[in-house]
Amino acid sequence: MKHQKVLIWLKKARTSLDKIIKMIEEEKYCIDIIQQNLAVTGLLKSANIKLLEWHLDCCVKNAINSKDEKDVDEKMLELVKIIKLAQDK
């Protein structure tokens, strides 16, 4: 399954989020919470990059190979939209 690595990252992020919530509830040291939060952010960023790579390698390539200009234009607009969204974060 090609998405296995992303699933692992997302499951680790979910587990870490539960840990962060527990740390906050237990009023643990702020820096320790921030470090855990940064780890989750890193996992999510890695997952997003891998998903984008797959989108380019599969969906965008297929659109280009199909020579369907409307589909290619759609894929390009999607990429611009997602890049803009990522920059706002």
What pLDDT sits at residue 88?
A: 80
Contacts of 12 (CB under 8 A, 6+ apart): 43
For the chain, percent of residues with pLDDT exceeding 70: 98
Phi and psi at residue 2, to the nearest 5°: -70, -20
Distance CA 74, CA 76 (A): 5
pLDDT mean over 52-79: 93
Question: Which DSSP state fits 89?
Answer: -
Structural domain of residue 23, as residue ranges? 4-87
pLDDT in tens, 21-53: 999 999 999 999 999 999 999 999 999 999 999
Regarding pTM above 0.75, the answer is yes
For the chain, percent of residues with pLDDT exceeding 90: 87
- Number of independent structural domains in the chain: 1
Residue 89 has pLDDT above 70, yes or no: no
What pLDDT sits at residue 1?
A: 64
Distance CA 23, CA 58 (A): 40
CATH number at residue 65: 1.20.58.1000
The overall average pLDDT reported for the chain is 93
